[in-house]
Amino acid sequence: MAANPYETLGVARDATPDAIRKAYRKLARKLHPDVNPNNKAAEDKFKAVSSAYEVLSDPQKRSNYDEFGDPALEANFDPAKARDYARWQREPRGGGRGPAGFGGGGRGPAGFGGASDFDFAEMFNRGRGPSRGGDLHATFQMDLRQAVEGAEVSIEVPEQGTVRVRIPPGADTGSVIRLPGRGSPGPRGGPPGDLVIETEVRPHPVLRREGLDLYLTLPVTLDEAYNGASVDVPTFEGTVVLKIPARSQNHARLRLRGKGIARKTTRGDLFVELDVRMPDLNDDALAAALRESATAYAKPVRDGLAL
């Protein structure tokens, strides 16, 4: 009997795609052959976890498994034929004629033959040729710059060795790259499966990412915040100039349109949040000026503050 993919990943049947992905990544890191060299048991578990994720990460394969159970894990499983056979099993098969499309005397649905000589291999399309091999799964960790710009990288894959992969611009954590025919070879000379690579983007020390938008905290002086200024802002494409309006408040958010992450024809924005920095050296003249600045507020800064 095939292993239950839900039990293999340790998730409930109603688990969300995100929960399934997190469970797979946690187990894959623990069981990966690079972490467990020469450990056959860990390697076998890693393969089982990868196979389970292949089923549950694909909406159609997961739906087929939920509906048909273990038979859906067979290579080239045909859900339409399985449903036809299930309907035929529920029909009465006495000596008389059955419903339209069903023969009497124990005959099965059209194209299936009699009940006694029903070919289960046909349900799985085994008659069409050798079965396809299984997919191989790998995870690649990358920097935000690589994700934004795209990169050609080398990945160590079990059973494959070093594989060169082109990461397209705009990749994110959870993005999937599929290399057809680079998976495990099929049994009895069947076609190989695919190599499925999931990307994981490491956190950036300065930038925060949300979808295609980037967020940057920008330190500014009292002078720049109060009087306004044009300041340089770094981006992955070079320095751009940001105009800070006069009397900008701390944590004010300004937008640089089109300076976020590009993916195909869509591009995000870069949001800059001002971090107004107080001078860190003693200056008597500045201290006196700030004491006199109380009259420059339209109302008390803590007006209305209450619990």
| Residue corresponding to tokens 């029903």 | 118
| Whether residue 51 has pLDDT greater than 80 | yes
Q: Which two tokens stand for residue 41?
A: 């048991």
Residue spans per domain, the chain: 5-128, 136-201, 207-281
Q: Under CATH, which number does the domain 136-201 receive?
A: 2.60.260.20
Q: Which two tokens stand for residue 181?
A: 């025919």
Per-residue model confidence as pLDDT tens digits over 235-257: 999 999 999 999 999 999 999 99
The answer to whether domain 5-128 and domain 207-281 are alike in fold is no
Place domain 207-281 in its CATH homologous superfamily: Urease metallochaperone UreE, N-terminal domain (2.60.260.20)
Q: Which residues pair with 211 in a beta bridge?
A: none
Nearest to 53 by CA among 163, 139, 157: 139
Task: Report the pLDDT value the prediction gives residue 138, as an integer from 0 to 100.
Answer: 87
Place domain 5-128 in its CATH homologous superfamily: DnaJ domain (1.10.287.110)
Nearest to 156 by CA among 174, 140, 180: 140
Q: Tell me how far apart the alpha carbons of residues 266 and 258 are, in angstroms, rounded to a whole number.
A: 9
Helices of type H across 95-151: 120-123, 144-149
Per-residue model confidence as pLDDT tens digits over 128-184: 556 777 888 888 999 999 999 999 998 888 777 888 999 999 999 888 888 888 888
Q: Which two tokens stand for residue 82?
A: 């399985």
